């Protein structure tokens, strides 16, 4: 097998609660990950050395998680990281959609096939967790409840709905670190809201938009006022339930009605005025 192609899909957080800071400096959280049909395209082939060609992205090679994933897997297998990686970016970067984490996970999965390296699933999960807290989710995708640092995963039924995903062009240096730094006691919670949403999915009930809370919402508005303007514009267009994904700045609307979803997407395209991306996405169903 000399050529592997993979679609590295984005995710939404259908609720995200921060519970506490751990002794290791990380945070315990409770979230629902939902893979969506907004994907980067990865091609991997055997080559004399490790290279990365990344379209539509200015990210430096040394900062690219796909390269880091290839090096980590090769190191674990005890082989040279001989592969050419071609990455076509469609998912916006640093947007709260997990694009880089998905690229890393699918690089791992693709190179396991390309190199035919024997590796236990638990070892692959450990490599993924070292690359980033979101990366293990993308090894399996679908819908999952994430606890601990987000790497302890329990599969869930996938909700039957569509999502209008809004990714405004708002760049925030050291975004996740800065948001964690700005959390105050009122932003922390016990995980019960996400657990209620988990219970709904397990019972086959539709998503409850009121349960899609996000611990970073207040702090994000504090450091990025344009996020507040996005909410104001949404309300002016009759859209009340606008939810934050990850550390943002991407937001989403849950809309089961296809015709209304198209109208909402059109409204946000007009609201952004070319200063971002709007995508109408279906959830990815696995298993």
Which whole-number Å values give the CA distances from 71 to 80, 110, 215, 225, in the listed order?
A: 8, 13, 33, 39
Catalytic residue selected from 11, 40, 103, 175: 11
Residues 237, 243: contact at Cβ < 8 Å? Answer: no
Is 134 an annotated catalytic residue?
Answer: yes
What 3-state DSSP class applies to 151? coil
Residues 220, 195: contact at Cβ < 8 Å? Answer: no
Catalytic residue selected from 40, 89, 103, 134: 134
Residue 176 DSSP symbol: H
Residues 38, 165: contact at Cβ < 8 Å? Answer: yes
Task: For residues 30 and 18, give the distance between their C-alpha atoms in angstroms, rounded to a whole number.
Answer: 7
Residues 20, 148: contact at Cβ < 8 Å? Answer: no
Q: E strands, the chain, where? A: 3-21, 27-46, 51-55, 83-88, 143-147, 152-155, 163-168, 243-244, 251-254, 276-281
Q: Which residues are catalytic?
A: 11, 134
């Amino acid at each position: 097998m000399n050529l592997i192609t993979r679609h590295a899909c984005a995710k939404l957080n259908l609720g995200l609660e921060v519970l506490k800071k751990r002794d290791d400096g990380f945070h315990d959280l409770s979230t629902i990950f939902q893979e969506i049909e907004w994907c980067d395209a990865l091609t991997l082939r055997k080559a004399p050395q490790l290279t990365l060609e990344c379209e539509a992205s200015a990210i430096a090679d040394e900062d690219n998680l796909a390269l880091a994933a290839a090096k980590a897997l090769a190191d674990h297998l005890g082989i040279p990281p001989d592969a050419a990686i071609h990455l076509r970016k469609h998912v916006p970067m640093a947007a709260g959609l997990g694009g880089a984490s998905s690229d890393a996970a699918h690089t791992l999965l693709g190179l396991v096939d390309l190199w035919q390296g024997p590796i236990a699933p638990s070892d692959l999960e450990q490599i993924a967790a070292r690359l980033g807290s979101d990366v293990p989710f993308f090894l399996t995708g679908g819908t999952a409840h994430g606890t601990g640092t987000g790497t302890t995963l329990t599969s869930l039924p996938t909700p039957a709905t569509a999502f209008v995903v809004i990714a405004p062009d708002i760049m925030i240096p050291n975004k996740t670190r800065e948001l964690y730094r700005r959390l105050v006691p009122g932003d922390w919670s016990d995980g019960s809201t996400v657990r209620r949403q988990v219970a709904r999915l397990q019972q086959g009930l539709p998503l409850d938009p009121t349960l899609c809370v996000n611990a970073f919402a207040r702090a994000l508005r504090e450091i990025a006022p344009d996020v507040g303007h996005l909410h104001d514009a949404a309300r002016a267009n009759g859209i009340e339930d606008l939810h934050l994904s990850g550390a943002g700045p991407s937001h989403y609307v849950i809309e089961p009605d296809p015709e209304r979803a198209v109208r909402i997407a059109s409204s946000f395209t007009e609201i952004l005025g070319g200063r971002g991306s709007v995508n109408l996405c279906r959830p990815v169903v696995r298993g």
